[in-house]
Structure 1
Amino acid sequence: MKHLAISTALAAALIASAASAQDLRFGYTDPISSLDPQLNNHAGDHNAGQMFWAALTPKDTGGLVPWLAESWTLIDPQTWEFKIRDTANWTDGTPVTADDIAFSYERVRDVPGSVASFRGFVRTVESVEAKDPKTVIIRTNVPNPLLPTNLSTVYVVSKHVGATATTEDYNSGKAMVSQGPYKLESYVPGDRVVMTRNEDFWGDKPEWQRVTFRYIANPAARTAALLAGDVDVIDKVSLSDLQSLRDNDAVTVHDYPGLRALLLQPSFNPEPSEFITDKSGKPLEVNPLLDQRVREALNIAINRDLIADRVLRGGATVASQWMPEGTFGYDPETGPIAFDPDRAKALLAEAGYPDGFKLTMHVPGERYPMAPEAAQAIAQFWTRVGVETQVEVVPFSVYSGRANANEYAMATIAWGNGTGEGTYAMTTILGTVSKEKGLGASNWGRYSSAEHDRLLEAATSEFDDAKREAIIRDAVKVVSAEVGIIPLFHYKNIWASRPGLKVVPWTSDRSVPMQVSSE
């Protein structure tokens, strides 16, 4: 891709055309599936959710985050008391009450049309009681020291509006009676969200009075929009443009280590798949990915260092597990994953596939930065060891439903690790799929491990941080040995802006106007 450059005259025009000091124009990457904050646990939906809604508890971002509970107390191992802020009101002036909390945690368990449910975060909630309008008693079915962390991911919606509202009512604005830092002005799906500051918000108000949140899926188009002065900030900067933007005095690049991991999810479906065939194209009667030796062969056939250097161009770090080094639950004894194509060939032969087979892997085209390009590189490595691989790039609107239904032989997911610790992924992408238990909502490959699930249960109820981290590290070892997922990279969080703006990380890799300020 040709690097974009900017002339001195154009730089001056960019600065001159910037919005007023109270307006912000943000070009974002992750599509929003809905303004219903409880529909899908997608990155783009979280971006929108954090602008309009609050959770009961805060997320740990190193900075201010709006939250509804001003305090919480562990009464006994299975009982928590939360105090809702006296000043917390809905945008129609109605106070936020304990009844809203109870309604929200019941609704989030089964929102019609969800393909990435939030139910896992309330899986231990047994009951929610309104002690008084501003006091909530939550009882859990097991001791859960991480309950406040789990609840930080679940946005609270109003009972008096939400009880009769559909997802479409949120998208149309009819049900957008919210309590976050912004209020909805307009929403055009697939294009933009326009919002105005909630002047009655109880927390510190954002700097920006009016924000235009504009969806620009194409990386080069995001860069062009910034350079032309059409937007003030862009996220997930194109790695192809990164160096030229760094060298550009009219642009400021803001980059930080990230939590988001790019992972492959092999399918554990025992049924024949159109995407796994013999070399003549005939579907195999037995799914070879069910054999741990085959999964291990694919895992070690990938030269991650080469892809990180040549494809990701310094925009990611090589991953051996779902959490990056230095985070809670990272296992220093696991990894790095060796690149060993000869061993990969031997494993395939041991598994009964000395001549390999054909495989199609799927990746969303506009969702994860450089994922299609990384997939093409991985396909070449797998083809070299005998697994002839082709890549199909699919629009995320189609991809998410088919991946969620386990229709793909090899799915791709970028997991944000939004709570900053290891059980978030254990619950949602690694736990054995169970709607009743709230596990595996994004476990697209249907990986299932009794030992992993036992460790998740143990970690969930362990109040000692050191012991809980040791349990998570044991789970890392289990998943790595079983090759339940194939970890690839951890993305760096990279934003670019016009001069005079400061962009700091929010939660995980979220992009919200609250993270942007004037220098």
Structure 2
Amino acid sequence: MFTRLKISVAAMALAATGAAAQDSITIGMQLEPPNLDPTGGAAAAIDEVVYANLFEGLTRYQADGSIAPGLAESWTVSADGLTYRFNLRSGVTFHDGTAMDAQDVKFSLDRARAEDSTNAQKALFAGIAAVNVVDDTTVEVVLGAPNGQFITNMAWGDAVIVAPESIETAATAPVGTGPFKLGQWVQGDRVELVENPDYWGDKPSLKSATFKFISDPNAAFAAMMAGDIDAFPGYPAPETLIQFEADPRFQLLIGSTEGETILSTNNKRVTDIRVRKAIAHAINRQEIIDGAMFGYGTPIGTHFAPHNPDYVDLTAQSAYDPDMAKALLAEAGATDLTLTLKLPPPSYARRGGEIVAAQLRAVGIETEISNLEWAQWLEQVFKGKDYDLTIVSHTEPMDIGIYARPEYYFQYDKPEFQALMVDLNLATEPAKRSEILAAAQKMLADDYVNGYLFQLARTGVADAKIRGLWPNSPTQANDLTGVSWAE
């Protein structure tokens, strides 16, 4: 009797453990976010934790890249395209219990566009002339000029709605309106999310989630194989994907991202276009894709995603041609050139950087490689512009407009390009927008602003029973709102 009872209790405990596991998930990430405030940081890892999970905007990205209502359930646009009237959802509260209303929308947008704004995508809000509160659930945003991208801009992670009561501590104790709220952040290890019982919308199947930070690709492989991680959407060791593919315990999530991976060039240091052109022709893209990404990736010749219908294939303009590269360097008198190459932690950058350095050395350019942690890269390269070359993937959606910002870290300052982006914002006809986007892509390729390498593939692996993870990455996010476990 005693033995049977003990077995029964053990079985009940095991069953309870199994049931609990079906409403929680552990997600692997290679990079830890430097903070948890998407309105005050440029790192993609921030949005990978908080987008749609903790924070929400007026609109939001869906898995297929389309834009859907978010905290705004609907909106109307004036005939002149200048005034957007947003109808907010009623009964929405922040995680601290305070109401989310039109005043919070005004606060968020005014803060993002303020002169002293630290928003990494401040340019998204530059066209806003005024934000007017009509009533608690209605807000009007007045633009200085029509902007065909405005509704899409409001879906970016940088445009989430925050509250004045909690914004001062958002970096470490974020308070949003999403279906999950912060449980705890054990820095250097993990972020734990728990359900928000007062969420205004449909409740996710998951009750909790843990984002576990594993920077080493070998450790990521071991953690997946051991079952310590349930899913690794941005899996950092593509060379081992074949092992997961052959194992019925797992599923592969292979798709596309918005990540243009570039050999970014400081245009105020590498000022001679002949040198930049030589760098472009010294690069063998396929060798980088094969060596750093094990074949996962699509070559690009400008800063635009190949899956976008307005993409222009300009790879031939900077085709691998080491003889041309050598001739251009000789013509420019740059026969004894050494450039710094500062690399952030992702494996595409570290592995790709070694290959790029060898390719540049073959045409006569030496590089001094510095492997930086993410915070160092943000401080030295992105903010301080203290670099010659770096490799990074720009994962923001449709972000060709960053080249119209002379202060941006690669410091490309061309009035003609800036005028194109003004025209793009004013254009509402699809054909006209396509024409402008084609001209913009060609101008970047003609000026050899950066070395354009490849479009980053979405290489993920997950437990075979998990459903609802995004296979593609239309924005930088691990949206858990539709994730569940199969029975």
Question: Do 1:66 and 1:203's aligned partners in 2 also have CA atoms closer than 8 Å?
Answer: no
Structure 2 CA distance for aligned equivalents of residues 310 and 84 of structure 1: 49
Q: Deviations over 1:118-170 (max 9, x none)?
A: 211111111100011111111111111211111111343443514xx42xx22
Corresponding residue SS for 2:293: coil
Corresponding residue SS for 1:71: strand
Corresponding residue SS for 2:59: coil
Counterpart among 154, 176, 179 of residue 177 in structure 2? 179
Question: Do 1:234 and 1:496's aligned partners in 2 also have CA atoms closer than 8 Å?
Answer: yes
Q: 309-318 or 330-339: which moved more?
A: 330-339
Change (3 A) 1:158 1:511: closer
Structure 2 CA distance for aligned equivalents of residues 517 and 321 of structure 1: 38
Aligned to 1:90: 94
1:55-454, aligned counterparts within 5 Å? 55-62=57-64, 67-75=70-78, 76-109=80-113, 114=118, 117-153=120-156, 154-162=158-166, 165-166=167-168, 169-173=169-173, 176-237=174-235, 238-269=237-268, 287=269, 289-332=270-313, 335=316, 337-353=318-334, 355-364=335-344, 366=345, 368-403=346-381, 404-418=383-397, 421=398, 424-426=399-401, 428=402, 430-433=403-406, 443-454=408-419
Task: Judging by fraction of residues, say which structure has more helix.
Answer: 2
Corresponding residue SS for 1:200: coil
Letter aligned with residue 406 of structure 2 = V
Structure 2 CA distance for aligned equivalents of residues 127 and 113 of structure 1: 16
Structure 2 CA distance for aligned equivalents of residues 66 and 227 of structure 1: 38
Corresponding residue SS for 1:412: strand
Q: Deviations over 1:256-277 (max 9, x none)?
A: 12221111221122xxxxxxxx
| Unaligned segments of structure 2, at least 5 residues | 1-13
Corresponding residue SS for 1:201: coil
Change (3 A) 1:71 1:194: same
Alpha-carbon offset, residue 64 of structure 1: 9.1
Letter aligned with residue 304 of structure 2 = M
Q: 481-490 or 57-66: which moved more?
A: 57-66
1:426-505, aligned counterparts within 5 Å? 426=401, 428=402, 430-433=403-406, 443-502=408-467, 503-505=469-471
Aligned to 2:6: none
Letter aligned with residue 215 of structure 1 = F
Alpha-carbon offset, residue 65 of structure 1: 6.5
Structure 2 CA distance for aligned equivalents of residues 333 and 303 of structure 1: 15
Counterpart among 43, 51, 54 of residue 52 in structure 1? 54
| Unaligned segments of structure 1, at least 5 residues | 1-12, 270-286, 435-442
- The answer to whether structure 1 residue 43 and structure 2 residue 8 are counterparts is no
Structure 2 CA distance for aligned equivalents of residues 70 and 301 of structure 1: 51
Aligned to 2:3: none
Question: Do 2:90 and 2:137's aligned partners in 1 also have CA atoms closer than 8 Å?
Answer: yes
Corresponding residue SS for 1:463: coil
Report percent identity of matched pairs: 26
Letter aligned with residue 187 of structure 1 = W
**TM-score scaled by length of structure 1:** 0.84
Aligned to 2:5: none
**Alignment RMSD (CA, Å):** 2.4
Question: Do 1:161 and 1:177's aligned partners in 2 also have CA atoms closer than 8 Å?
Answer: no
Question: Do 2:300 and 2:315's aligned partners in 1 also have CA atoms closer than 8 Å?
Answer: no
Structure 2 CA distance for aligned equivalents of residues 219 and 395 of structure 1: 15
Alpha-carbon offset, residue 374 of structure 1: 0.9
